[in-house]
Amino acid sequence: MNPERFSSHDLTRANTLGLPCVAERFCAPGNLAELQAALAEAREQGWPLTLLGGGSNLILPPFLQGLVVRPAMTEWWQEESEEGSLRIHAEAGVNWHELVMGLAARGLWGTENLALIPGLCGAAPIQNIGAYGVELADVLEAVEVVHLADGSVNWLSPEACRFGYRDSVFKGALAGRVVITRLVLRLSRRAQPRLGYGDLASRLGASPTALEVAEAVCAIRREKLPDPALLGNAGSFFKNPLVASELAERLLVEHPEMPHFPQPDGRVKLAAGWLIERCGLKGWREGHFGVHDRQALVLVHFGGGSAAELMAFADRVADSVRDRFGVELEREPRVAGEPVLR
């Protein structure tokens, strides 16, 4: 493969924050063989490698050296399984929201609560995407990966993925070592509505369809979250923090109205957006970035800013929460550009 075929590429529109970025080299392989060839070329040339999906949970620097690979495999299909359930195969380049709506329209249950989450299927396992009481781990059966070191392919079970809250092995031991190429999801034809989160149940009748649940989730998200096409953002910028029960109890004495969710391990999950809002930061703007005026968990980009400015702004938000509540906020979007192949 001729290295000259990898040309520079403007990635400003390839990330939902709209941060200006140029890739030194770029390719979008449309099948497994093309992906393996691109990885082999990167190894041979010694290029740093960056993997890019839908750019919805990503902070891009102004320039990315080496090769940026954005898998463009976009097929999905269903495989009948035992009575009442079936497997869905979705390649890495499939748009996640479009897949969810397509499955819900077919009357298939399992992913409807995950509607309108931006990005591509290949990125979904990395942070174990979740919303409205459902996580990807609840429906995932297997993940196909290609190893960057040698181009070999293998499958990972959900256990091997080590899923946690917005976490997985792809952020840990396998970070920078594999590219996700396909997901296998297990869905059901039997009605399985999960409506216990927020006001989701109040928007639906007694026996909603999967599509009705997905559409209700979309309506709620559109009311609370800005459209990245209109206002740059990466969705939730901070994880909901998990704190010791002792700290949660102390905070509840002072703030009895504080949202809190006890966890099986004894810790308590707090609502990062509530903490930020209580610091008086909802709607706050400084320079090219701000805290969204309807959802304090979302940091927005008004244009013209840089990744460094965003990170400094986010640090000031996190500092305010720590100073007032003694709670550390952890950033959710990952930062691109760390060389993972040389």
Domain-wise residue ranges, the chain: 3-69, 76-223, 226-335
- Looking at the predicted structure, is the pLDDT value of residue 82 above 80? no
- Looking at the predicted structure, is the pLDDT value of residue 342 above 70? no
- Provide, rounded to the nearest whole percent, the portion of the chain with pLDDT above 90: 78
**Active-site hit among 25, 41, 70, 166:** 166
Picking from 263, 130, 122, 128, the residue whose alpha carbon sits closest to that of residue 194 is 130
**Active-site hit among 56, 168, 236, 320:** 236
Helix (H) or strand (E) holding 36: helix 32-45
List of residues 6+ apart from 77 with CB closer than 8 A: 88, 89
The per-residue pLDDT for 340 is 36
The per-residue pLDDT for 337 is 64
3-state SS class at 340: coil
Mind listing the pLDDT tens digit for each residue in 257-311?
999 999 999 999 999 999 999 999 999 999 999 999 999 999 999 999 999 999 9
Catalytic (active site) residue 166:
yes
For the domain covering 76-223, report its CATH number: 3.30.465.10
Mind listing the pLDDT tens digit for each residue in 113-164?
999 998 899 999 998 999 998 999 999 999 999 999 999 999 999 999 999 9
pTM metric for this prediction = 0.83
Strand order in the sheet with 49-51: 9-10, 22-27, 63-69, 49-51
Identical topology for domains 76-223 and 226-335: no
**Active-site hit among 87, 277, 332, 334:** 332
Mind listing the pLDDT tens digit for each residue in 16-26?
999 999 999 99
Catalytic (active site) residue 332:
yes
- Looking at the predicted structure, is the pLDDT value of residue 320 above 90? yes
The per-residue pLDDT for 115 is 96
Listed in order, strand segments (DSSP E) in 148-230 are 153-156, 178-188
Mean per-residue pLDDT of the chain? 92
Mean pLDDT calculated for residue range 158-174? 93
In this structure, which amino acid lies at residue 17? L
The per-residue pLDDT for 334 is 85
Catalytic (active site) residue 236:
yes
What are the φ/ψ torsions at residue 51 (nearest 5 degrees)? -100, 135
Q: What fold characterizes domain 3-69?
A: 3.30.43
Mean pLDDT calculated for residue range 220-244? 91
- Provide, rounded to the nearest whole percent, the portion of the chain with pLDDT above 70: 96
Distances (CA, A) of 15 to 21, 25, 29, 137: 9, 17, 18, 25
- Looking at the predicted structure, is the pLDDT value of residue 86 above 70? yes
The per-residue pLDDT for 80 is 81
Residue 1 — very low, low, confident or very high, per pLDDT cuts 50/70/90?
Answer: very low
Q: What fold characterizes domain 226-335?
A: 3.90.78
**Angle, vertex CA 116, rays to CA 153 and CA 321, nearest 5:** 95
The per-residue pLDDT for 213 is 96
- Looking at the predicted structure, is the pLDDT value of residue 4 above 90? no
Token pair listed for 255: 């703030």
